[in-house]
Structure formats: structure tokens, C-alpha cells
Amino acid sequence: MDFFSHQDAAHRKTWLLVGYFAFALVAMIAALYVVAVLLFPPEAVDGRIPEPVWFRPEILLFTTLAVGSIVGLGSAYKIMELRGGGESVAGMLGGRRVNPGTTDFNERQLLNVVEEMAVASGIPVPPVYILDNERSINAFAAGYASSDAVIGISRGALELLNRDELQGVIAHEFSHILHGDMRLNIRLIGILHGILIIALIGYYLLRAAAYSGMRGSRGRRGNAGGHLLLLGLAVLVIGSIGLFFARLIKSAVSRQREYLADASAIQFTRNPDGIAGALKKIGGLVSGSRLQAAEAETVSHMVFAHGGGSSLSGLLATHPPLAKRIRRIDPHFDGRFPTVRKAAVPVQAELTRSPTRRPRLATPLGQMPPGRTLPLDPLLLLGAIGMPTSRSVDYSRELIGSLPDRLREALRDPFSARCVVFALLLEPSGEIREQQRQLLLEREGEPTWRETAALEPLLRQAGRAARLPMIEIVQGALVDLSPDQYHGFEKTVEGLVRADGKISLFEFVLQQVLMERLARHILNKRPPAVRFHALNALQNDIVDLMSSLAHTGTPDADQAEQAFQTALADLLPRQQHRLLPRGDCSVGGVSRALQNLARGSSGVKKKVLRAAVICVAADQKVTIEEAELLRTIADSLDCPLPPVTPGPITARETPQGAAT
């Protein structure tokens, strides 16, 4: 299955969830109706107790409205509570946000692993939360989309897992982000909360009945207490039906996704010992993966592992048995779990080091000089969407490790991260640069200008190919901006971009990738709703986009024509379209095209992205500009495209761009 198939599978799981939910609702209404009919029989006639009348429309209407209202209001309340996405879930579990500038070794190592996986996956670096009160080994990913995702990890996992095991766990959680599991999981919390409220009401009715019994047991008060006791007991039993279905729904949605995430983690890291070692340590730890937070049961379906040292099994388990998961990874596992000790912390450690068993790139991509060729294999890009390979992870580690130390620190500091963005937009010299300097001084102040000017030469040293990965990392430090701070930052970026009266391709890329992502996170801007299920209504947008992409790769009109026609032959094989002249291609046209294409269905997006890759690869050479625009297209379509990695097709750095 590819990325788009995984997204469709998650969508189908949503409908399965709705079906189970409806069945649970009907079962609870029916059970409550039967109880109400028995507790409130028709009035006696001539002193004789009548037989129960099983069809009582007024009681059926009441029970339907009562259960529907309680469940609906309970679910709506929880959904509203979780509208903050992953951060809401982390807060619910008592998570503490890790400061991107932390100097704690364990926390720094964790952030490095998360950064490497994010850059390798082509998604923003998610905020990281630590559950300080949890000494077991567990983790989770939560959010509605990659733009608001968070990674959470227990204190026990942080202290007891070595780097490879930690990377295996994080890779597992990234699989949930990339395969669309998070949105389904967080919806599951909201919907099931309404079902669980029925059991909670039964519990409080029993308490009220006990209180009533303490105050008096005779006369009408005693009878009322008895009825209340029976009603509370009945509602608690009915609530147990809801609990049964809630656990059944979670198990139906979760178990196979856990196997997939385990397999994906191995593909990401090329190291089965990492995730297998983490699972074995869970089995050997007294507390296993058990969380102590009050909401632990609520999130049981979305954590790395659920339960104690021995894994839950049977119909209602949200995760496969622990031993079974391990044997799928390590067929030679004998069932014996190791004694668990804290992982050793080196006194002096290079946190961005590459393990010696993995090859280093001869020349880090970010440091390639202009005019040199860069290895690239775009033919593998489509298959890597949502499924980054170990080569992508190695690449991201090497690229981040090749950045100057001062620059790496700046990317993680909220103040300096803004200055990194400003420095990326500065002109090298001349009148335009002076206008930009004055703008920064007026809007941001002297300290900001000094930091921006100090970072500028470090960015040139890092190289143009490192710009997009740096944008991925910078976002992690900027997501804590308030809405007012974001709007101020946005105005400064807009002023720097428009200082020369035009928008370059990279300036468009930065605004599209960074500013749009920040807007989604900070302003709760949701992705556009699906509107187009076929390509016919999008033909003009496709022509605009493919024309700009074809011109970006080469100044030669014939080569651009060939790339354009090759892409359109795959995308719209029965129709004839002409390549737009270079002068008619602009970032405005690309922006409008991407806005419309973002409203396409999963199938439409897959076809468009495939055609874009074919267009880029038509001449067997991929420029840095093409790679950046391709990543921007994928990002706009909510398709996490990994960065370019070593392969047989070369890429070259060229000064031209398609749009101004």
C-alpha cells in the first residue's frame, strides 16, 4: 500500500467507527427502554398488576432522546475540548513541552531523533512532550494533521531506552502521523466519550441512591431510594454495554495499524533491533507500558503499547500481544524478557552523530558548491510519500549534522529562528538590501538586525539545498508564537519579500511552506474541504502548474516542452494542451493552482503529484529549484514528500527560476 492507499484505509476505518457507534447507541437505547418498561409498568386496574406492555411509544421516545442527548452532548464536549489537536491530548495526559533549546542530554537526543524523522518524512518538526510522572515505557502521536501533530513520550522511555530503541519508537509514532491514524484516533476519543458518560451517570445514580438510603429507608423516601438504586444499577449495566462497544471499536480500529506502524518503523530505520529492543524492555519492566494518568484508558488505542509487562490479548485488546509483535520483528525471540536498566548517558556526546555502522555522505548535500551535480532519484519519490526510507533518515541526519553549530542552535531558539527566516530573505547587497535592513530595524529592532546579519554567512555556508530542511526545523521553534506575534512576523516577512517589487521562486516556497503551516497551527486554520473528485474541472490549474514546473528545470524551451508534454500525457492522456510561455508563468498562477488542487480528492492529488514527478524527471536532471517547488506542491496537497536522496539520477544547482 502507498501513502494514498493508507489514507483511504484510514477513511474507511472512520466509517467502520460510525457503524459500531450507531450499533452501540441502538443497543443502549434498547436496553434502557426495557428497563424503563419494567420499572414503570401501567397503572394497576382493580388492584391487579397488569402484564408489561412492551410497546410504549412515550417511553421509547423518552429513552431515545435521553440516550441520544447524553451521548451527543458528551461527545460534543470532548470534541470541543480536543479542538487544539495534539497539544490538547498531551495536556490531558500531563505532558510538559520540551524546550527546543534544552541542554539536557536525554531531551536533546530525543529532539534530534524527532528532527531527523521529520526532515526525512517531509513534514514540520512536531512539538515534543514528556510525561514526567510516567515511569513506564510508552509514547504517542496525536493531532488532526501533520501541521498540528505532537509527539509525546514517557519519562521511563526517555531514561530506559538507548538511541536506537528510542528511534524505533519515534519511527513507529511517525508512521501513525504519515498514515492518517492520528485524525481517526483523536476522533475516536471524542465520539467514545459520549458512550462512556452513560456508565458515569449510572455510577452517580448509585451514589445518590446510597445517600438517599442513609437519610431514611421508610415510606415514600425509601421507595424512591429503592427505585433510584435499581435505576442506577440498570444504567450502570447499560453503560457497561457502552464500555464493551467502546473497547471493541478501539480494538477494531487499532490492532492492525500497530502491526503496520511496527513494520514502517523498521523500514524507516533499517534497524529491527531498535523497536524490538523497546518492546522487549516493556516486557521486562515491572510497570511495563502502563500509564498512571487518569485519562490513560481514554487514549489506550493511540499509545505505543498498552497494559503491563504481559500484553493484553483477546477481542477487546487495543494492541496485539507483546510477544506476537516481537516475534514478527525477531522470529528467534524465546519469550524471555531482559532485565531493564537505565541507558548509559555519555559524559561528552555529539548528539548529531551518525552511528558508525551507517555510511556517511562523501559531501553533505547542503555544502555542495554551485555548479556541481547532486545525486537524486526522483523515480523513488512517489513510493516514498508517507514511507521514508532509511536512506532518507541517514540523509537528514547527515544534513543536520553538517550545519554549523551556531546555526543549529539558532534554528531551535524562538528569537533566533525568526532571524534565520529573515536572513534567508536578505539580498546579498545593494539598494534592496538597505531597504530590507531599514525595515527590520523599524519593525523588529536593532538586536534582531544584528542577529540576522550574523546568521547570514552561516546560511550561505550551509548551502541552498539545506534551505527547506531548515524551514522544517524552524517551524518547531515558531509554533509557540501568539496570533498577534504571528501576524507581526507575517508582515515583516511580507515586507522583506516585496522589497524588490517581485516574488522569487524561493520566496514563494518559504511563504507557502512555512507561513501556511504556521497559520494552520497558530490560527487553527483547517485544511480545505474536498471539492473535486475528477481532473476535468482542474485542467487550467494543471496546465499552469506543469508549465511553471517545466520552465523551472531548464532555460531551453524545447526541453521544457518535452517535460510538459510527458507529464500531461500521463495525467490527461486523451487531451491536447500547450505549454504556457515562460512569461505567462508566475508564482501567482502557481499559488492559485495549488489552492484549487488542494481541494481535490486523494485520487486527484495522487495523479497530480505523479505528473509533477514525471515532469521533473523528464530530462534525467533535477535542479535545486525543481526539488523545492516539487516539495512545495506536495506540501500544499498534504502529501509528505521526503527530501531528495542519493541515487542514479543527478541534480544540478542552477540560478534560474520559473517565476518572478
124 φ/ψ angles, rounded to the nearest 5 degrees? -60, 150
E strands of 26-127, at which residues? 96-97
**Which run of H or of E encompasses 606?**
helix 602-617
**Cα gap 173→110, rounded to integer Å:** 13
**Which run of H or of E encompasses 376?**
strand 373-376
**Cα gap 58→33, rounded to integer Å:** 10
**CB-based contact 138:289 (threshold 8 Å):** yes
Q: In what order do the strands lie in the sheet with 96-97?
A: 96-97, 128-131, 150-154, 139-142
**Geometric angle at alpha carbon 10, from 473 and 609, rounded to 5°:** 60
> C-alpha 16: how far from its chain's center?
22
Looking up cell 559524559 gives: 347
Looking up cell 547587497 gives: 429
* Bridging pattern class, strands 96-97 and 150-154: unpaired
**Cα gap 506→509, rounded to integer Å:** 5
Closest by CA to 3, choosing from 121, 163, 162, is: 121
**CB-based contact 307:289 (threshold 8 Å):** yes
**What residues are labeled active site?**
173
Closest by CA to 290, choosing from 461, 432, 426, 154, is: 154
Half-sphere exposure of 358 (CA within 13 A, CB side): 17
Closest by CA to 288, choosing from 259, 261, 319, is: 319
E strands of 520-583, at which residues? none
Residues β-bridged to residue 45? 48
Looking up cell 421509547 gives: 60
Cell numbers describing residue 388: 521514508
Neighbours of 452 (CB within 10 A): 25
**CB-based contact 318:301 (threshold 8 Å):** yes
E strands of 100-166, at which residues? 128-131, 139-142, 150-154
Cell numbers describing residue 445: 529592532
Q: Look at the alpha carbons of 300, 304, 306, 312 in this order and tell me if their dihedral is positive or negative.
A: positive
| Alpha carbon separation from 269 to 117, 272, 380, 400 (Å, rounded) | 9, 8, 17, 17
* Bridging pattern class, strands 96-97 and 128-131: antiparallel
Q: For 53-79, give one letter per residue: b (16+ CB within 10 A) or e.
A: eeebeebbeebbeebeebbeebbeebb
Give the contacts of 371 (CB within 8 A, at least 6 positions apart). 652, 653
**Geometric angle at alpha carbon 169, from 165 and 170, rounded to 5°:** 115
**Cα gap 593→541, rounded to integer Å:** 4
